[in-house]
């Protein structure tokens, strides 16, 4: 059983943002965001390298206005 691959474009939606199947474009965006959130959560807990990458990002974002940007960059380099 083969399915035809469907490519989406702006022309597939009407003026209200609904396609011919009755699905709004935000529903497609919500599905993609949900899939990314599920995968990211799984990877955070079960993949050590992804976990440490996320920790490094949070440490970098935790730099506040009291610290210069060089301090944040140094923390990024020596975090792990």
Q: Where are the domains of the chain?
A: 47-80
pLDDT at position 64: 67
Token pair recorded at residue 43: 């990877």
Q: According to the model, what pLDDT value does residue 78 have?
A: 63
- pLDDT, residue 67, reads 67
pLDDT digits (tens, 9 = 90+) for 11-59: 778 888 888 888 888 898 999 999 999 999 999 999 999 998 888 888 7
What pLDDT is stored for residue 35 in this prediction?
96
| Residues 6+ positions from 56 with CB-CB distance below 8 Å | 76, 79, 80
Q: What pLDDT is recorded for position 75?
A: 67
CA distance to 10, 24, 51, per residue, from 75 (Å): 44, 43, 17
């Amino acid at each position: 059983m083969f399915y035809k691959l469907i490519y989406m474009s702006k022309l597939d939606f009407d003026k209200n943002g609904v396609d011919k199947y009755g699905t709004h474009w935000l529903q497609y965006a919500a599905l993609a965001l949900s899939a990314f959130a599920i995968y990211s959560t799984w990877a955070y807990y079960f993949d050590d390298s992804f976990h440490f990458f996320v920790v490094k990002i949070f440490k970098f974002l935790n730099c506040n206005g009291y610290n210069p940007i060089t301090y944040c960059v140094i923390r990024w380099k020596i975090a792990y």
